[in-house]
Structure 1
């Protein structure tokens, strides 16, 4: 018999009471006990944040009326298998403070979306790594520690470091486990499909053609001269900052930019010899206004 919701709520309250009692007696705790307590609290927080991220990902898809499958092809899979916007998502939440901690989660997600850990995204799913960063972890900048602010670097530098870091892990000269598998999968794109009957094909931004249903999507598709659309193999990496990354643009150093999210995509362009990585979308926060999305259009 499974535990009831009330039983679980009681356990949550008990956990909170235990941690609070120990923290209230911090001054009297031995060094090793403080270390164990700190580790325990951070692990519990990280697990809770991970559950929340996956839960919110599922709810967002359900609210759009999409088919949702969990823990089969990936953490979360949305859309019917033949849907143009079908995707399989590995949702990761980071609460640790250092850049290396972020890379460990990204490496884990790379293996998962590559199908090396027991789950395999469906044939036409865009594969997505969705990393939410809590606190002031400086990724992609080096360093990071609890209580340490992020470095004061430009938005352009953040984008460059992020692109270089992701490509090193996935498509560089010494990719991590799963990286080569993903590049081989992406490289298998032929830019052909039975639904494409027109004489010419090109890669387009789906948001430019599906304004009513997916206006803000960064999805890339193949379009023919007759207006038919087909899937394009694509790996998307989303980096979300729960606490905005305070930065600036190189041409306007005195004005703060509150970076909220960066989206990178790796896919094989028409006539390209191999897959390439590009920045697809940037989100930043503007005080007293709703989030502003800046799209960087593909050629």
Structure 2
């Protein structure tokens, strides 16, 4: 990408999109295009086609998606499969028709089979059953990856797909019903500290292990791959190490400064037992994550506290 390239970031207000936008701006890219959902509904085909027709876009980062944790996936399965299929279909097809030079599609490591060997290698995709609570979202994302690959094969496009592990960072979703585990725990422990609550409940046994990638690291990886990778095969993006939910809970408890007890609700679902990605491929290409987990969590909690002060 050249400094003057016209770059569209779909989902620029979200966790991933805002990080990509921030990194692009820091590197001096000035011809960035983005629209809010009220300005451009990516679920509406006509709107998306018109947008691409009216803007001479060179590159696309497709970070727009409907995402959430176990609670949201359980309660809104139709929303997850419908919205994600519509968003990615409209953007990918319109990008092809408008002659976009390159598109990067954000998948997710949660779409790998539930009991795939660890760490997760790229070739494990579609080799086993999916996590049931996550199936609608996973099927939609798998369709997006296959769509990019199919357009490359049939039309000669340069559409690449990446598989980021669990993410966290600035502009995260802290809603307890729809957020992922890390931001949800930050909010739970913060509110318990403020209320001087005696206990904090954590869903599940605490045994499942998860890998967490800071959104700034993900953004750097996405830019690196946009500039250096053109293969149709997916690429994992992660840090290469994980942590149990129990240890994560106690780490966040310490960062927040909560002094009560942690109670694990073992009747709640655990989800996938483990989800560590193999990062051999992207490390071999020349990229590695740089932000340690505790450092990243402290920065996110500071930003969360600042946001609470603003709202007050």
Higher fraction of strand: 1
Higher fraction of helix: 2
Question: One fold, TM greater than 0.5?
Answer: no
Larger radius of gyration: 1
